[in-house]
Amino acid sequence: MKTTIITVACTGLLLTGTAFAGGHGTHWGYTGHEGPEFWGNLSNEYAVCKSGKNQAPINIGNLTESDLSPIAFHYSNTSPMDIVNNGHTIQVNYAPGSTITVDNHTFNLLQFHFHTPSENTVDGRSFAMESHLVHADKDGNLAVVGVLFEEGPANPFIDAVWAHMPGKAGEKKQIADVTLNATDMLPSEQSYYRFNGSLTTPPCSEGVRWMVMKNPVTVSKAQAEQFNSVIGGNNNRPVQPVNARPILE
């Protein structure tokens, strides 16, 4: 996958610029005849949503013990806060210069966005919300860090984002006096699950490196409901067959 694909191909997950409001590609959603079970039939470009063997999200279970390298997070502040409601999620586009390094390989943070309830599950357990921090290396290969949110005390980082959440699909804001650092969204203990997967929205392209944090952080019921209300309902793709993939821990 090339960088140009990253910036324009996937409305729900990867768009990083003004292309959000342009409505690129065949329309899809989370309910009815445009819902996840029909994505693979909506367009030839989405065929892998139906035919792929390494689709995400998944139920994380039947784990394989492995000597996983720690993820080295090098996230800087981003300002102004560049936030968009693309009709499928709330997404914050990140200023260049923040990276992760894993297995001596560096990926640049492009954006993060949210799903409620969680897309990935753990031993069949669903969580109140999930964030996806989307990264790409210099060749356009993707790595997603998933953070699970369980219901509990209000999350200050989420408060800072939700305070400026655009209420209408296609609405985008740049908030000059807000500075965020995505490090503040991560759990303090950063062990993770690792599997090979895909985008969780059309075109469901495979070859994505997934790293889901083992330890959840909290989000209040009110915070999760506020997001759900603005998006207009749940925005999670159901878990997909694991097939022959190992899930490493």
Question: Which residue from 185, 36, 25, 181 is spatially nearest to 119, judged by alpha carbons?
Answer: 36
Structural domains in the chain (count): 1
Task: Identify whether 241 is part of a domain.
Answer: no
Residue 154 Cα distances to 77, 81, 121, 160, 219, angstroms: 22, 21, 21, 11, 5
Task: Identify whether 238 is part of a domain.
Answer: no
Task: Identify whether 7 is part of a domain.
Answer: yes
| pLDDT per position as a tens digit, 33-77 | 999 999 999 999 999 999 999 999 999 999 999 999 999 999 999
Alpha helical stretches, state H, the chain: 3-8, 39-42, 48-51, 156-162, 221-231
Task: Identify whether 187 is part of a domain.
Answer: yes
**What does residue 52 show for φ and ψ, rounded to 5 degrees?**
-65, 150
Catalytic residue check, 88: yes
Domain of 190: which CATH number? 3.10.200.10
- Give the model's pLDDT for residue 17: 32
- Give the model's pLDDT for residue 24: 52
| 72-74 and 99-102 beta bridge pairing | antiparallel
Mean model confidence pLDDT for the chain: 91
| pLDDT per position as a tens digit, 191-245 | 999 999 999 999 999 999 999 999 999 999 999 999 999 999 999 999 999 999 9
Task: Identify whether 135 is part of a domain.
Answer: yes
Of 74, 88, 113, 135, the catalytic one is: 88
Question: Which residue from 29, 64, 28, 36 is spatially nearest to 52, judged by alpha carbons?
Answer: 36
Decide: residue 143, CB within 10 A, 0-12 exposed, 13-18 middle, 19+ buried.
buried
pLDDT at 13 over 90: no
Domain range spanning residue 23?
3-231
Task: Identify whether 249 is part of a domain.
Answer: no
| pLDDT per position as a tens digit, 71-129 | 999 999 999 999 999 999 999 999 999 999 999 999 999 999 999 999 999 999 999 99
Task: Identify whether 243 is part of a domain.
Answer: no
> What are 88's strand-pairing partners?
none
- Give the model's pLDDT for residue 25: 78
pLDDT at 6 over 60: no
| pLDDT per position as a tens digit, 136-179 | 999 999 999 999 999 999 999 999 999 999 999 999 999 999 99
Task: Identify whether 236 is part of a domain.
Answer: no
